[in-house]
Amino acid sequence: MAGRCFARSSRRLINLRRFSTVRRVFWAFLIQSTLCLALSGCADLRYYRQAAAGQWDLLRARRPVAELLADSATAPALRRRLETAQALRTFASVELGLPDNGSYRDYADLGRLHAVKNVLAAPELSLQPRQWCYWTVGCLSYRGYFDAAAAGSLAEELRAAGDDVYVADIPAYSTLGWFDDPLLNTFIHWPVGRLAELMFHELAHQRLYVGGDTAFNESFATAVGRLGAERWLARHGGAEDRQAYALDSRRREQFLRVVAGAREQLAAVYASARSDAEKRLEKRRILMELRERYQSLKQFWGGYAGYDRWFEQDLNNAKLAGNNTYHQWVPAFMALYQREGRDLAAFYRAAEGIAAWPPPERAARLTALSEPAPVLLGQVEPDARPFPIAARSDDGRRAF
């Protein structure tokens, strides 16, 4: 879940943690804008200006959690969630080996329901996402904005050029250690399991991040988030919280299988020798069937409508490609965790080893890890409880 306007690569040049928050923002903006002027004729200067301004506004809104907990005016519901978040933060470093720093020791109310907006795009007849490149983090398959109007303007430009476009509301993102990321009103009241998963996900980006490989980074962080949430709930969660998270996880996996089936169908159509007109017809049919399968899945869930908003708008290549970016290698990382004896330290070392390979070899190793183990006669997967055939794809494989 990210929209990262800053990153850690250039800390090799300047150790920003030596500076105050104001000076960190200044240096981050100066580095990016100078490179913009030198390398791209200043085409992106407005983008970096809104990024610096948005990050500064977010940091100005922070208050130490300890101060809020000591303040009698803090609402009881918020107080309870902040206490839980601080317990999660300690667990992240002590039990999960995630960075022990100032991230999530402060809280900020942004006065809105999202932290940033991410713009994703893909060609009309392709699932290959557009990329935007930055000196500090390499290329990313999305463009993150604090400025909603600027995000909308880019989205309209891309649509006018013929692309499929999706503008996603993002509740949290990681600055990869440039700043101490605060807890936000955009997610603090989520169910405990999801709150834990999100915090561990974002801290995982500080633990391991590969410039230019969005799918690796998001899949690794997603896997760490899930593994960490399961460990937290097993040790500290109540029965109701564990049940709620397990149910949410089952729904998410079933949703992902349905969406992946449609994505694979589309990929086959786009790679075929059919005419563009025929491909467009097939695309409409596949997306219509995807909506129908989701309605069947909702019935199986007893009417749970948590994914309705995802289906309501921009159901297109950009959305399906973005979904894949966050989950493409999650099965590989889960398999790696099992291979390393469910030892997180060994898992991190193995993941770092894979990260060190060039992109083709890295992808090959993750592909090999993703291959399912042979199923023995009579063996059934734990999550094999069927749901309606209409809701299940033959190829079956959350959206953010």
**pLDDT at res. 386:** 31
Q: Read off the pLDDT band of 178 (50, 70, 90).
A: confident
Single-letter amino acid code for the residue at 129: P
pLDDT of 209 strictly over 60? yes
Number of neighbours of residue 155 by Cβ within 10 angstroms? 22
pLDDT of 125 strictly over 90? yes
**pLDDT at res. 301:** 97
Q: What is the mean pLDDT of the chain?
A: 86
| pLDDT tens per residue across span 270-306 | 999 999 999 999 999 999 999 999 999 999 999 999 9
Q: In what order do the strands lie in the sheet with 143-145?
A: 143-145, 116-122, 164-170
Buried b (16+ CB within 10 A) or exposed e, 343-354: ebeebbebbeeb
Highest averaged pLDDT of the listed ranges 113-117, 311-315, 372-376, 380-384: 113-117
Number of neighbours of residue 227 by Cβ within 10 angstroms? 20
- Domain ranges in the chain are 1-61+109-189, 241-391
| pLDDT tens per residue across span 319-361 | 999 998 889 999 999 999 999 999 999 999 999 999 999 999 9
Counting every residue, how long is the chain? 400
**pLDDT at res. 139:** 84
Number of neighbours of residue 293 by Cβ within 10 angstroms? 23
Give me the mean pLDDT over the 110-121 stretch: 96
Q: Read off the pLDDT band of 4 (50, 70, 90).
A: very low
**pLDDT at res. 356:** 97
pLDDT of 113 strictly over 70? yes
